Each structure stands twice: as C-alpha cells, then as structure tokens.
Chains A and B, each alone.
Chain A
C-alpha cells in the first residue's frame, strides 16, 4: 500500500489508545450557488473543524440541536459526503494482511479500498419507513449489502440472515415479507439487521430511536446495547434526545453550529459541564419528575445560521456568560481536564451546573 510508510507511527499510537476511529479537523462546507452561472456566493459550514475519537467497543454520543451538523458529520465520516478537509483515521481489519488492524485515512483511500472498508462501517437511519425499499422483501434488504460485497446468495448466506433476524428479535418467517407489513419498531430492527449483516466494527446510528414510541424505543435501545456486547461494536450515536444519549453513551460530544463545543465522559458531561451551551441544553430538557424544580436557563433566540455564523464564539449571542472576548475570538478546543475537552474562553472560571 502506498501510504504504508506514514501509517506505521500512527498504528503504534493507536495500540496505546485503542482508538478505532479518529477524526481530525474534519470540515464539510456546502457551497451556496446563485445566479445563472451558479456562482458560489458563500458556504454553509455544516461541519467546521471537528475532531474526536471513538475507542473500540465504546459508544460516542453526538448531540445537538437540528442543523448543528451532527448528521452531516456522521455521513462525512463514512464518506457519503465528500469532505472539504480533514482526516478520518480508521483501524481497519480488512485492509491489513496480518490479521491485526491497520490504520488508514478513509479520505484518501482509492475507491476499491473504500468500498471494502464499508464492510466495517455501517449505518442505521432515523426513519425506518423511508430507509427501507418498499419493493424489497426483508430477505432482499438484509442480504443486499452481502451481495454487493461479493457473497453469493446460497443457503449458507440465508442461514446467516435468519440467525441475524432472530438475533434482532424477528422471526425466520418474516423473511419473505415486505416492510409495510411491519410496525415502526420492527422496521427499525430490519434496519439494524441490515447494518450488521457484514459484521462491521463501527456502526453510525443516526437518530435510530427518534421516530419510535417510548416502549419501542426502550426495546430498541436494549437491543443495540446487547448487540454491542455480542459483536464488540463501536457506535457513534447521533441523537437530539439528551436522556437517550446519556443512557447509551460512554462519552458524549455536544455540537453547536458545525463545531464541537464539548466532549467528555457521559457522566462527567452531565454532572459537571464546562460549556455554557451544554449547561443550557441540559437545563432546557423537560424532566419527567414533578418534584424536580430548577431555574431553567431559557436560551434566547435560535440556533445560529451556519452560512452566516456570528463572530468569535458562535454561541455568544445566546450565552448568558458572554464577554467581549467571546465576540472577537474563536475559542480554542482544548483539554481542560483529562478526557474533557471544551471550546469556551471562560471555561476555567465559570461554575456551571449539571444535573
């Protein structure tokens, strides 16, 4: 492989930290085109210099309000969108010759290797109705990734599919049915079975339970946790529901207008947030406990426009702690406590409240 020389030191590093995926300075700008000649007049900075890592077997939660770029980040990692800049380093099992994992940058892999690596990274989508082709049977849907990756549709493959369906809580006689014959929760299970059909090591879950009812949501979350243990999966769990993210994640990243505001262990982030946006977000969530009384911080205004973000720290117009420096300078994303990263000028001095 061409990049082998560069890969060596990174690989050593990877062994120490057990990072499965490392995203460095990822950017995705969508051009805004106007006029007859479709001139580019500006950019929507959907993902703007995002860095994080995912350890093997862990779940990284990605939260934020709509339009903050969390889904775009997920899709850019798997190279569904062509990134503007950055690196996505992934420890691949398939591309290595000796059985150990080899660290590769997904963003400069040749197409054939990129295709191969998609076996190791799969995706579960939010909408279980639109993400399944209504004209394909369950068997077709679940086996499609296997066929694309060169498995032949024989009795052995079918046995694998049946085992998979049973594992996600469906029955073998569901094999010949169509998506419309299933409830929302069952459809999401089909989507999960499809994502697992190639035995991936990383699954990007884009709002997998947002469209489901409370009781079905609980079943699906439990299933995802069980599968994670059984198959040693790592998840990037994208959601806007903070309580769901807290429940399932080991670590959580909070995004705001294309940037990561804060990353920490789930417990640490929820109990002692360092970024005012995290604090406000946590305080805004309606608590399902009638005795819980708190001084809710109601953020004024709306999420900033990513095509025309405010100066300095993007959160400053809504931040109750904002000072002059916040309007002028973009805060640096830095590690304030071990494993706790934050991008806020005043993170050291502020005493913020968690839950």
Chain B
C-alpha cells in the first residue's frame, strides 16, 4: 500500500443533513466537503452542536430520525479483502445506500468501525425504536447482558467466517492487543465489572476486530482521565500503524487532536470553516473562528499572572434563525460591515494544502 501518496478512502462532497422538527428545519451539516485518506488520521474539531458527530453518523448512514441526508455524496473507495490475494475495488456512494440494506451493514463495523464517547450509554437514546435497530450497532454497543468476550466474538462471526471457538481466540487476542491485563479472564467479564478505561479498550477491540479500513472515533477519550487517555491514544496509534487504518478523530479537545491527527477540519455551525495540516492550523490559523478558538484555551506551562483568556463574544446562533452571509459574522472580531453579513464565503485556498472559508481571503 502506498504510504507517501494520499489515496482517498472517503470523499464527502457538499453534504447536507437536515432535521425537520416541529419548530423548523435544522441544518446540522450544511455543505461539508472533505476527504479522509487511506491510513491517515483526519481530525475534526468544533464546539458542541457544530455537526461533527452527525457527519460521522452520515458516513455510516446512521442519521437519527428525523434527520435526513438531503444533498451531497459520500464516496467510499471500497477495497474488499476477499481471501487476501484478489483485490476487488468498488466505489460506493454511502449516502445513497439503503440504511437497513445489506451493503451498509457490511460496511458498518466490518469496513468502517466506530467508537463512541461513553461505551455504556452512548447509543441507546438514539436507537431505541424496535424495528430500526441494526445489527452492527448492537454489536458495537456493549449490552450488559452479554459477556465482553461474546460481544467481540459475535462481531467477528458476523463479518468473518469463523467458528465460535476461533472467534473466542480472536477476542482474547484483541483484548490482549488493546492492553487489557489477563485477557483470558477478562473475556468473560460483564461491562459493569470493567473500569471506564477498560470499557473503552473493549470498544476499540470490538471496532478493530474486523480490521476496518477506517475507524471513526467520536470523542473516544473525553470521559477518561488523562493517564488513561494517554494509554488509549497510544493504543490507537499503534494499531493504526499495524493495520494501515484511516482514523476520523472527532473531538473538542485541541490538545488531543494535535497528538493524533495529520490534518484538521474545523467546523462551525455545520460548515467546515478551515482545513489544513495540524502545524499550519496551529501556527498559522487563517479563519477568525479558528484563531479565537486557539486563543481561548489555557496553555499548559505558560502562566502569566492574572492574565485573562481571549473569548469568543456572544453565543452559538439559534439554529432556526441563522445569521445571513457568513454564519460566524455576529461573533467575528474582524467583521466587515456590508460584506460578511451579505455574502456567503466560498472555500478558498489560503496556503499549501490549507483552505478556509472567509471573505478576508477571497479576491474581489
């Protein structure tokens, strides 16, 4: 596999996801375009409600109701690993697949794995309705009635042709790889018998047990302590290298993203406002939102007594009543009257592999 060239795995093109609720239509994702490359890590940062998690769900075609993908494509360059010798390449638009169909169910879990913030409780509120429960989601979700080992074995059996005994061996091996002590015993533990860090390891083990081409990690370490977080991030990096897996890493923690991703997309109100290499984004942020976000976090080891943090004035706008022009203009320190409130900014190249959508960088 090529390691130097960027080979696209997932291409999201002008994606729009809307939620039609009683009070109106919420544009959770509004014209998002981005690419995840094979074997690379793409970070997505943004504050709550900016649409980062919905984007992840859109890729797996798991938008919770009443949400809908209303526009755009999610191109998946599929590579089937059938018997290891022959490679079949296939191009699928995931946005057009039947959300209950066989195809997307093979992709979910089998080819694109996902881990969530809190393994005990992250999924249920969205997927309770009976008939809509899909297999892969249940397999990812640690239901307290199953032993941990069974859950991994089940995942393996659903996507690979192995016997129960073989699956158990794989389950133990996976638990070992994610650093759970005494995996032969832990394989028979129930989730409540594990600590938060161990549960997240089990989630990673489940997600990786089928050697997916991509792992979507939605705030995987947010609920964990720093020492455990460091362990989990190390495991993810090691496993990524050993199986050449792409990672889409979603977080609001700027420190975590720096240590994980090569490239970052910054989202605000359902739109990408800036994209670039990690160093570019941190050293030379172009969009005023990114600049403000970076200034507003306290930096470790750079204390100056009594210093105030830079803040972003105002609040995230009402999703039913979005500002005209650039959605960030009411909070923007570089607001240009008569321009930012009228013209919607375009996605503009601002540097080497660095884009932003801001009128400051658009030529007249």
Residues in A lying within 8 Å of B, measured CB to CB: 65-66, 183, 185, 213-219, 221-222, 225, 240, 242-244, 246-248, 266-267, 270-271, 280-282, 284-292, 296, 298-299, 301-303, 318, 354-355
Contact = CB atoms under 8 A, between A and B. Distances in A.
Contacts of A270: 300-301, 303
B256 A267 contact: no
20 contacts: A65-B225, A65-B226, A66-B196, A213-B47, A214-B252, A214-B296, A216-B315, A219-B311, A243-B255, A243-B299, A270-B300, A285-B300, A286-B230, A286-B233, A286-B255, A286-B259, A289-B258, A290-B279, A298-B227, A303-B225
A283 to B, nearest CB: 8
B322 interface: no
Closest 3 CB pairs of A and B: A355-B301, A286-B255, A247-B298
A282 B283 CA distance: 23
A215 B47 contact: yes
Given A270-B303, A298-B234, A285 B283 contact: no
Nearest to B300: A243
Given A213-B252, A225-B306, 11 more contacts: A214-B252, A218-B312, A271-B301, A280-B227, A286-B229, A288-B254, A289-B258, A291-B279, A291-B283, A298-B231, A302-B227
A176 B278 CA distance: 46
Contacts of A247: 298, 303, 307, 309
A243 B297 CA distance: 8
Nearest to A286: B255
Interface centre among A240, A246, A288, A301 (most CB of B within 10 A): A288
Given A183-B315, A298-B230, A290 B255 contact: no
Contacts of A271: 301
B292 interface: yes
Nearest to A221: B309
Interface centre among A183, A218, A221, A303 (most CB of B within 10 A): A218
B219 to A, nearest CB: 13
B258 A290 contact: yes
Interface in B287-311: 292-294, 296-301, 303, 306-311
Contacts of B259: 286-287
A218 B299 CA distance: 12
A244 B258 contact: no
A281 B229 CA distance: 11
Given A289-B258, A290-B282, A282 B303 contact: no
A43 B209 CA distance: 40
Contacts of B255: 243, 285-288
Contacts of A280: 227
Given A218-B311, A288-B299, A355-B301, A299 B47 contact: no
A288 B253 CA distance: 8
Given A213-B47, A281-B226, A285-B226, A246 B311 contact: no
B281 to A, nearest CB: 8
Nearest to B293: A214
Contacts, number: 127
Given A222-B311, A284-B229, A298-B234, A355 B296 contact: no
Contacts of A318: 227
Nearest to B309: A218
Contacts of A289: 258, 282, 299
Contacts of A299: 227, 230-231
Contacts of B297: 214, 218, 243, 288
B228 interface: yes
A222 B181 CA distance: 43
Contacts of A183: 315-316
Interface centre among B256, B259, B296, B298 (most CB of A within 10 A): B298
B258 A287 contact: yes
B303 A302 contact: no
Nearest to A66: B225
B254 A214 contact: yes
Interface centre among B225, B253, B256 (most CB of A within 10 A): B225
A355 B300 contact: yes
Nearest to B295: A218
B359 to A, nearest CB: 21
Contacts of B311: 215, 218-219, 222
Interface string B2-40: 000000000000000000000000000000000000000
B258 A288 contact: yes
B195 interface: yes
B225 A240 contact: yes
Contact of A214 (B47, B233, B315): B47
B97 interface: no
Contacts of A66: 196, 225
Given A214-B293, A215-B312, A287 B227 contact: no
Contact of B310 (A65, A218, A285, A303): A218
B227 A65 contact: yes
A239 B79 CA distance: 46
Nearest to A242: B300
Contact of A287 (B292, B300, B306): B300
Contacts of A284: 226-227, 229-230
B294 A288 contact: yes
